[in-house]
Amino acid sequence: MTAADEHDAEHGDAEHGDAEHGDAEHGDSLTARDLAPQRRARIRAIVESRRAARLEELSVALGVSQATVRRDLDELEAEGLVRRVHGGVIAVDERTGEPHFEVKAAEAAEEKERIAARAVAMLAPDDTVYLDSGSTVLAAARLLRGWDRLTVVTNSLPAIVELAGRGPRLIVIGGEFRATSQALVGPLSQHLLQNIHVATAFIGSYAVSLDDGLTTTDPAEAFTKKLALERASQVVLLADSRKMGEHSFVHAGQLESVDVLVTDTGIDEGIVRSLERRGITVIKA
């Protein structure tokens, strides 16, 4: 191993020396061979364009021996520009790791679950309920597994997947799929929605304020949410206390449409009184 270190160190010095030599160029155009930095640039270009290359190919393409290519690749790998594998080299991008980043769900899971459970307790076994998008409402959806006399209407893809074939009769409103909220929203959702009516709607909201009512970040989302509010006899808003008093971009419903708010114990008492004055029953789970 010490031998290897020594070798690498020498190699490093060589690198610098060569670079310096680079700007003192003699116009020696007769050299049939690339200088080392040029050669490495060509290797990078080849590897990047093809995503991978085998030693043999590079050796032929550059007109040098495989040993030289190896040394170049060692250097390039040390700089993190490529990744050596048995038999050749692959571009760094091609790593097989896990690129997903969608794991914020477990955040306030426990709180959401208490809220969800309290809301679900309001349902009768043979009710018809609308489930909006959003993580808190999704938690409620999970609790409805096995309720085989229930009818669920929803626009939330996770809720659909959660309940598909697992008890409740499942009705999906149509619409355009929006990736951010994983829900079906927009003008197209009105066609089916206008033809149905549900006893209870579980609504989630990005933000709730006394002045602006329900607000959310996306117009299409707001459109569908508003429509859903109108199609329910009883509207139950599921929102943890951090969402209270906040407001977002687009108006998504009047506070007057809401009959019940299920939230957590962290809610401000002043807000509770204001809401109750407006005829909203507040339940702290």
Partner DNA sequence: CGTTATCTGTCAAGAACTGTCACAACCGAG
Partner DNA sequence: CTCGGTTGTGACAGTTCTTGACAGATAACG
Helical spans, DSSP H, in 79-146: 109-120, 135-143
Binding to DNA by CB under 7 A, coded x per residue (else -) over 64-103, reads xxxxx-xx--x---------xxxxx---------------
Restricted to residues 5-24, the positions that interact with a second copy (CB under 8 A) are: 5, 19, 22, 24
HSE-CB for 201 with a 13 A CA cutoff:
28
Query: Among residue numbers 24 through 53, which ones bind DNA (CB under 7 A)?
Result: 24, 26, 28, 31, 33, 36, 39
Element (H, E) at 219: helix 219-230
Among the listed residues 122, 188, 210, 282, the single contact to a second copy using CB under 8 A:
188
Closest CA to 168 of 192, 186, 151, 182: 151
Dihedrals φ, ψ of 170, to 5°?
-120, 120
For 89, which DSSP code?
A: E
Is 279 near DNA (CB under 7 A)? no
Cα distance between the two ends of the chain: 63
Q: Least separation, in Å, of the C-beta of 221 and a second copy?
A: 15
Instruction: Supply angle C-alpha 193, 196, 201, rounded to 5.
Output: 80
- Nearer Cβ to DNA, position 6 or 268? 6
Asked whether position 157 contacts a second copy by CB under 8 A, the answer is: yes
Determine if 37 is a binding residue for a second copy (CB under 8 A): yes
DSSP class of residue 244 equals: B
Are the beta carbons of 268 and 241 closer than 8 angstroms? yes
Residue 124: phi and psi, rounded to 5, are -95, 155
Which residues bind to a second copy, rule: CB under 8 A? 3, 5, 19, 22, 24-25, 27, 29, 32-33, 35-38, 40-41, 44, 51-52, 54, 56-57, 59-60, 66, 79, 81, 85-88, 90, 94, 96, 100, 157, 160-161, 164-165, 169-177, 179, 182, 184, 188-189, 191-192, 194-196
Which residues bind to DNA, rule: CB under 7 A? 3-4, 7, 10-11, 13-21, 24, 26, 28, 31, 33, 36, 39, 54-56, 64-68, 70-71, 74, 84-88
